[in-house]
Amino acid sequence: MDLKDLLNHTSEWLKGSGPNADIVISSRIRLARNLSQAPFPHWAAKKQGEESLNKAKEGLSKVDYLKKSTFFELAGMDSIDKQFLVERHLMSLDHAQKTNSKAVVVDEEEIVSIMINEEDHIRTQVMQSGFNLHEAWNIINKIDEAISKELNFAFMPDWGYLTACPTNAGTGMRGSVMLHLPALVMSRAIDRVLAAIAKLSFTTRGLYGEGTQAMGNFFQISNQISLGPSEEEIIDSINGLIRQIIEQENQARDTLFSKNNPLLEDRINRSLGILKSARIITSQETIELLSMVRLGCDLGMVKGINQSHINELFIITQPAHLQKIEGKKLSSQERDVKRAQIIRDKLSIK
């Protein structure tokens, strides 16, 4: 498998299937692990970093679950290719920026990806479409157990898995759920919801994780506490919180909809109109408008548009994807033209 194959393929988590797929885009779990007896990536000398990379590579190559996965070494990789992997949520922005002795392992369906030498030696993530953290946990737990048989991890009975940053110690687990909350944003109830989330020791981030802005009404919610409760308990607590947010979003949608609000219908249809006819469009505007059309589909106001096409558009209209599709480097203005063209094509397919 190479990057071209990924381009012609829709990631499993984008399929718009799974529980509560109208509000929950995807569920993700990551586990942070470190090799015992090796300095953490940020503190390792060049040679030590290479040693850890080789050790991890060798260990992972013996894991049956990863037999159909591809190993990408980041040193020397084209910057568009790296950005492409970030846009597909297969690795972090941070991982793409400092690339010494770093790699990422990606499975065929893009359910599993493993970053080597990011903040920790090994960061495994599993993504699922819709609201499905339990399934993500079942998968990642098996993979983690298989990896543990090949590699020695830094671990203490009382403090669990040891991580470069003490905020990840213990389970080393972060569960995240990506939500689309347009009605809570429109009814201005979102600030209240976000404040409540923060009080409960959860964090909210934007589309691309740490340090990114909430765009297009998308919010990524994850646990902050990783030491103390067990993995299942952490997942249960996230699930409890997400269920409440889904209910609030549904109520807000009912209210907006029941008012038979011509403003809402107008906004949704104008958004669709612009997407279907624009000749130049920025990434930011695309995300905002697609968010409205997605809501229109959920509410039955927009018909004849495939939900998975909309999900896919969020990803393939990103800068590196446009350049991979075009097969060459594009300036910002050229991208805006290409983006508009791709959106028109996708939305005209019934």
Partner 1 sequence: MLCNICTKNPATVHLTEIIDGQMSELHICEECARKKSQDMEQQFGLSDLLAGMADFDKPKDDSSAGAVLVKCPSCQLTYADFKKIGRLGCGECYNTFRKYLGPLLKRIHGSTQHTGKTLLKAGRPSRKKADVQELRNRLNRAIESEAFEEAAKIRDQIKELEKRESEKNQ
Interaction site with partner 1 (CB under 8 A): 34, 36-40, 42-43, 119, 141, 144-145, 148-149, 152-162, 164-167, 169-171, 173, 201, 225-231, 233
Output 60 or 347, the one with its CB closest to partner 1: 60
CB of 267 to partner 1, least distance (A): 27
Output 167 or 261, the one with its CB closest to partner 1: 167
Output 149 or 328, the one with its CB closest to partner 1: 149
CB of 334 to partner 1, least distance (A): 19
Output 228 or 273, the one with its CB closest to partner 1: 228
CB of 74 to partner 1, least distance (A): 20
For 120-159, the three-class secondary structure string (H helix, E strand, C coil) is CCEEEEEEEECCCHHHHHHHHHHHHHHHHHHCCECEECCC
Which tokens is 158 given?
Answer: 């009382």
Which tokens is 95 given?
Answer: 């991982």
State residue 230 phi and psi, 5-degree precision.
-75, 170
Residue 39, CA atoms < 13 Å, CB-side half-sphere: 10
Percentages of the chain per state (helix, strand, coil), in multiples of 5: 50, 15, 35
Output 50 or 109, the one with its CB closest to partner 1: 50
Output 100 or 277, the one with its CB closest to partner 1: 100
Residue at token pair 């970030």: 86
Q: Which long-range contacts (CB under 8 A, 24 or more apart) does 302-308 make?
A: 302/268, 302/269, 302/272, 304/350, 305/272, 305/347, 306/349, 307/16, 307/21, 308/10, 308/14, 308/15, 308/16
CB of 344 to partner 1, least distance (A): 29
